[in-house]
Structure 1
């Protein structure tokens, strides 16, 4: 019996067709470091989101009599200099730190992608936008970040409230100083894509540039954008932690990981765990996101997927 005459297997007949993302996932699963990073990152997300529902302790509750206590049944990770539960503060602080990483990454990704597409597709805009990118790359970013936060912090806090104003100021300040690498990567891919046959054909029939970029160009630069997104989260978390450690991040009643690390610096010799726990969470988050980015870079590379 020939292959054409063989009856179809019912399971194969109703199996949904595989697409590119199934191939990406199959390749991603072969990267052990990326899988381990994904497991660690998911565990941290569950720790900061589900943890406060289980450990229902107010992170701002003061108990001076129990200050600087070691681990116990009542305080599994001990207390700080004001008697506040360190475990609860790490859980709630993780929400803020991870939220800053996600929002700042998204804003930086939007800015970098927009500038990269404009510079790569429109020749007249290429030179000025790339010179702007080079200018931002040449600037000392941490001092610029400190200046932005110091100048606009009080104004935004009075306008939108301290919590919302400071949150979006820090996210925007991180995004405005971290979009350059994404812009350069996207620009390079767009320069190659705009000479492809399907893009030239669309331009020849009068398709608007906006439609060409949204339908034909952007879907084909998602791979580097996704990799930049994962690395951007790690960078934003480190930057927010650095700002909080320098005292220019969130106010003291917002227990971000960087703020907890900052508050424990004076007690590092007597109570080293005060800085070990927030430092460990920051390191694990950044390391896991970097491994996820490495796995995505390999999985989205067609040369590796084709092996």
Structure 2
């Protein structure tokens, strides 16, 4: 009788299988990859300059020469969407990294050190009680001119937007991480490490952080969508990047005035923002199911 060979599948393979069974996550990952490729390689393939006016094609509709149409100065909207996408995605990714780092630091400190738990959570509650959009508007108005004069307009606004979004969006990450840390720190392997004299820093880096990666990764993916929407809102309100530095939110803001006559001015940037946020949210759902051992055995959603 032939001996049956048992092939053990590792946790990473299980995670990958669960992820690819999630049809929405696969669709989101593919769509997000297409958007990333478009904004990175698009300007190399579509060589129309985004800032060159064409006064013979002012507010022209979609055509072979201008697939997305043109703006009030005759600039190609497709070229502006591709160029502005780099800035919008850079803001989203950088602000997400900042907010996740701050949230993880606060959550781990509150979960591990009992004396810091109360003050840090009250600080988190204080930030959660603040109205986000008015706070962002105040930050932009207070520091916009100072940073612009210090490091340049575009660099200063980029740093200000990233910092403002990052320091006002870390609170949900902190609360989620704290809850998971409180659960993990009482498990047997952490108690054994503590009893053997392992330092708290090593307990955190070796035993606690690897076991709370699931909520951190999911929060990171959803943080990208939140940062892109927030940057678009600030640019839409006129407190983001200047008009000669197009982002998706800036293009929306410039096109609102022409909405009734030239609706494609708003349609294309709005569709790109919606598809990007939708794809990131789908990926976040799939990663949540794939990284959570309790959910891996469930049937994949349709």
Secondary structure of the equivalent of 1:21?
helix
What does 1:228-307 correspond to in 2, within 5 Å?
228-306=219-297
For residue 65 of structure 1, report the CA deviation from its aligned partner: 2.6
Say whether residues 1:175 and 2:166 are aligned partners. Answer: yes
What does 1:1-307 correspond to in 2, within 5 Å?
1=1, 3=3, 18-306=9-297
**In 2, distance between residues paired with 1:36 and 1:225?**
22
For residue 2 of structure 1, report the CA deviation from its aligned partner: 5.9
* Structure 1 unmatched ranges of 5 or more: none
Secondary structure of the equivalent of 1:28?
helix
Aligned length: 298
**Structure 1 residue ranges, 4+ long, deviating more than 6 angstroms after superposition:** none
TM-score by length of 2: 0.95
For residue 157 of structure 1, report the CA deviation from its aligned partner: 1.5
**In 2, distance between residues paired with 1:183 and 1:18?**
33
**In 2, distance between residues paired with 1:273 and 1:292?**
28
TM-score by length of 1: 0.94
For residue 18 of structure 1, report the CA deviation from its aligned partner: 4.1
Secondary structure of the equivalent of 2:260?
coil
**In 1, distance between residues paired with 2:2 and 2:164?**
66
* Structure 2 unmatched ranges of 5 or more: none
**In 1, distance between residues paired with 2:2 and 2:49?**
72
**In 2, distance between residues paired with 1:21 and 1:242?**
38
CA RMSD of aligned residues (A): 1.5
**In 2, distance between residues paired with 1:105 and 1:123?**
27
**In 2, distance between residues paired with 1:33 and 1:72?**
33
